Amino acid sequence: MCKLIINGGRRLCGEIPVQGSKNAALPILAAALLTDEECIIHNCPDITDVAAAIEILRQLGAEAELEANTVIVCARNICSDKIPKSLMGKMRSSVMFLGAILARCGTASVYSPGGCNLGDRPIDIHLRSLRKLGVRIVRSGDGIVCCADEPVSGDVTMLYPSVGATENIMLLCAGCGRGVRVYNAAREPEIVDLQNFLNFMGADICGAGTELIRINPSGNMHGCEYTIMPDRVAAATYACGAAICGGRVRLLGAEAEHMRIMLAALESAGCDVLKDEGAVTVAMEGRPRAIEMIKTLPYPGFPTDMQPLLGAVLTVADGDSEIRETIFSRRFGYTCGLAALGADMRADGCSLKIRGRQTLTGADVTAPDLRGGAALALGGLAAHGITRIGGVCHIDRGYERIEESFAALGADIMRCGD
């Protein structure tokens, strides 16, 4: 079984490029279904979630190939409107194909999606929004069959600004909409990236990044060439590496605006943050300071995906910190692994109390999910001695060879086994 082996305790210094964004790439790959022309998508991260998205595209009859971080998709010969249960189970974003398949075929047959186990992850907001737009939906067990008899139109008000549901509606309506407004839409930067890609394809969408998105009727969608935005969570992971190990890390291509609250939290923990043209640098001398309280919120609030990363940094802070998780009910799974390294963390409902320790000590741990796995890697990098991390497949879902990035910053880390 594959493990990451870390000999911790080294400072991290140097510069690395930031990979393309996973959470932007996945809906953009689904969007390529909306045209029978070729889409050339650059800066696509080489991660297993992208491999799963390519597998779904091929299953539907599209040609899709990833080479040197460029995916070329041609969905000319779509031969199916179904995603098998096994592929749906591989990741949460498989549900994003629902809107795109519906737009392309008029019908779609999918299952409840898989993904990290972060608590209940229903898709009621997706389905309610689609129904509101006139889509007929029949559920039997975990199978979902949808039918859009005619172009969709109307207004949708989401009870919660779900990222995936916002993207699903955009995909459906860009492909077969007669004019749709989405109120209380999610405002994440990845939604803006999807809007930009769809507009490059010929859609007429505005408002992404605000709570009202207008998807205006447009002509035929066509192929395009596009470069995916940098991954703000991966960038935050390496920034937290500097914070927990000490040192100076320059993140080439990182977009400071997308990481505003995380960078403010790191500054509050004692890091120096420098934003210059095309890069963000995070430097730390000595031990991090505690952060009294931080709460996860939809963008532009503190991102839930960065919560485990900051949680790891605060395990070695000078003082007591508290994190409140408001998005997912089970996102403290990583605390068991950090506790095995000697961290003092107590999770109670949505609150996590952390008493900073001077040092952590290496141990054998298992990644519980993607970002939780990255948090354990951060703990291992700061700990004295050897940490072995199992469950690396979770980390590989979202990080492009995480060990190579940390090694390029001077960490003693390697991958063993397959």
Closer residue to ligand EPU in complex, CB, 123/413: 123
Contact status, residue 402 vs residue 4, Cβ threshold 8 Å: yes
Q: How many CA atoms lie within 13 A of 267 on its CB side?
A: 11
The phi, psi pair for 286, rounded to 5°, reads: 80, -160
Q: Choose, by CB under 6 A, the member of 116, 185, 239, 265 that binds ligand EPU.
A: 116
* Contact between 165 and 194 (Cβ < 8 Å): no
CA-angle at 402, arms to 385 and 72, nearest 5°: 170
Residue type, 74: C
Closest listed residue to residue 231, CA positions, set 22, 394, 404, 372: 22
**130-139: Cβ within 8 A, 24+ apart:** 130/98, 130/99, 130/102, 130/168, 130/169, 130/172, 132/156, 133/169, 133/172, 133/173, 133/180, 135/102, 135/172
> 39, 44, 105, 116: which one is catalytic?
116
Q: HSE-up of 128 (CA within 13 Å, CB side)?
A: 11
Which residue's Cβ has the minimum distance to ligand EPU? 164
Q: Which of 85, 121, 260, 401 binds ligand EPU (CB under 6 A)?
A: 121
CB of 298 to ligand EPU, least distance (A): 7
* Interface pattern 376-415 for ligand EPU (x via CB under 6 A): ----------------------x-----------------
Amino acid code (one letter) for 5: I
Q: Which is nearer to ligand EPU, 126 or 258 (CB)?
A: 126
Q: At 17, list the tokens.
A: 């490029």
Site string for ligand EPU, 161-180 (x = CB under 6 A): -xxxx---------------
Looking only at residues 322 through 351 of this chain, which bind ligand EPU when binding is defined by CB under 6 A? Answer: 327-328
Contact 321, 292 (CB under 8 A): yes
44 is catalytic: no
Q: Smallest distance, Å, CB 4 to ligand EPU?
A: 18
- Nearest CB to ligand EPU, comparing residues 194 and 242: 194
CA 268 from centre of chain: 24
Distance of alpha carbon 22 from alpha carbon 395, whole angstroms: 12
Near ligand EPU by CB under 6 A: residue from 255, 305, 325, 400: 305
Token output for 417: 């086994």
**Please, what is the minimum distance in Å from the beta carbon of residue 119 to ligand EPU?**
6
Q: How many CB atoms lie within 10 A of CB 257?
A: 11
Q: Of 3 and 397, which CB lies nearer to ligand EPU in the complex structure?
A: 397
Q: Return the number of the residue (22 or 250) whose C-beta is nearest ligand EPU.
A: 22
Among 1, 76, 142, 160, binds ligand EPU (CB under 6 A): 160
In the complex, minimum distance from the CB of residue 144 to ligand EPU, in angstroms, rounded to a whole number? 12
Q: Kindly state the number of chain residues that form the binding site for ligand EPU, as judged by CB under 6 A.
A: 28
Interface stretch with ligand EPU, choices 9-17, 299-307, 334-342, 386-394 (CB under 6 A): 299-307
Residue 97 contacts ligand EPU per CB under 6 A: no
Residues 211-250 that bind ligand EPU (CB under 6 A): 233
Indicate the residue among 124 and 404 with the shorter CB distance to ligand EPU. Answer: 124
SS3 annotation, 357-392: CCCCECCEEECCCHHHHHHHHHHHHHCEEEEEEECH
Tokens of 76: 């000319």
Give the 3-state secondary structure of residue 107. strand
Please identify, among the stretches 11-19, 114-122, 308-316, 359-367, the one whose residues bind ligand EPU according to the rule CB under 6 A: 114-122
Nearer to ligand EPU, 197 or 328 (CB): 328
Residue from the set 146, 371, 379, 405 that interacts with ligand EPU by CB under 6 A: 371
Q: Which of 6, 12, 18, 26 binds ligand EPU (CB under 6 A)?
A: 26
Q: Enumerate the active-site residues.
A: 116
Contacts with ligand EPU by CB under 6 A lie at 22-23, 26, 92-93, 116, 120-126, 160, 162-165, 186, 233, 303-305, 327-328, 370-371, 398
